[in-house]
Amino acid sequence: MKLYMVDKKKTMNKTEYKRRFLFKSSSMILLLLLFPTLLLSGCLFSSSPTGSVEGFVYESTDNGIIPLEGALVTISGSSNTALTDSDGYFRIDRVAIGFNNLTVAKDGYASKKITNIEVKENEIILIKDIIIHLSDKESLLLEKGNYYYILGDYNQAIAAFQQLINDFPESEYADYAQFYIGCSYYNLSSFQTSINEFRKVLENYPDSEFADDAKYYIGYCYEKKLRYYTKALLEYYELINNYPDSTWVDDAQLGMGNCYYSSGEYDNAIIEYQKVISEYWDSPLHALAQYSIAQSYRKLTNYAQAILEFTKTIENYPGSDYSAPAQYFLAYSYNEAQNYNQAILEFQKTIDNYPNSTWPGESDRLISPCAQFYIGWCYEKLEQWSDAINAYQLVINNYPGSTWSGGSSIPADAQSRIDWINANYPES
Scanning 101-153, the segments in alpha helix (DSSP H) are: 137-151
Quick: pLDDT tens for 320-337.
Answer: 999 999 999 999 999 999
**Max intra-chain CA distance, the chain:** 93
- What's the pLDDT tens digit per position in 116-170? 999 999 999 999 889 988 778 888 899 899 999 999 999 999 999 999 999 999 9
Which class would CATH give 137-204? Answer: mainly alpha
Within a 10 A sphere around the Cβ of 364, how many other Cβ atoms? Answer: 9
CA within 13 Å, CB half, 420? 12
- Amino acid identity for residue 265 in this structure: E
From residue 233, give the alpha-carbon distance in Å to each of 124, 272, 418: 50, 11, 47
- Is the pLDDT score of 17 beyond 90? no
Where in the chain are the domains? 1-43, 45-134, 137-204, 321-428
Q: 425 exposed, middle or buried (CB, 10 Å; 0-12, 13-18, 19+)?
A: middle
pLDDT of residue 295: 98
3-state secondary structure of 90: strand
Rounded to whole angstroms, what are the CA distances from 349 to 64, 77, 193, 288? 70, 38, 47, 21
Domains 45-134 and 321-428 share a fold: no
- Examine residue 36 and say whether the peptide bond preceding it is cis (omega within 30 degrees of 0): yes
pLDDT digits (tens, 9 = 90+) for 365-417: 999 999 999 999 999 999 999 999 999 999 999 999 999 999 999 999 999 99
Using only the alpha carbons of the chain, give its radius of gyration. 26
Mean pLDDT over 247-275 rounds to 98
Tell me what percent of the chain is helix, strand and coil, each rounded to the nearest 5. 50, 15, 30
Domain 45-134 is found in CATH 3.30.1660.40: no
Give the global pTM: 0.74
Residue type, 59: E
CATH number for the domain running over 321-428 = 1.25.40.10
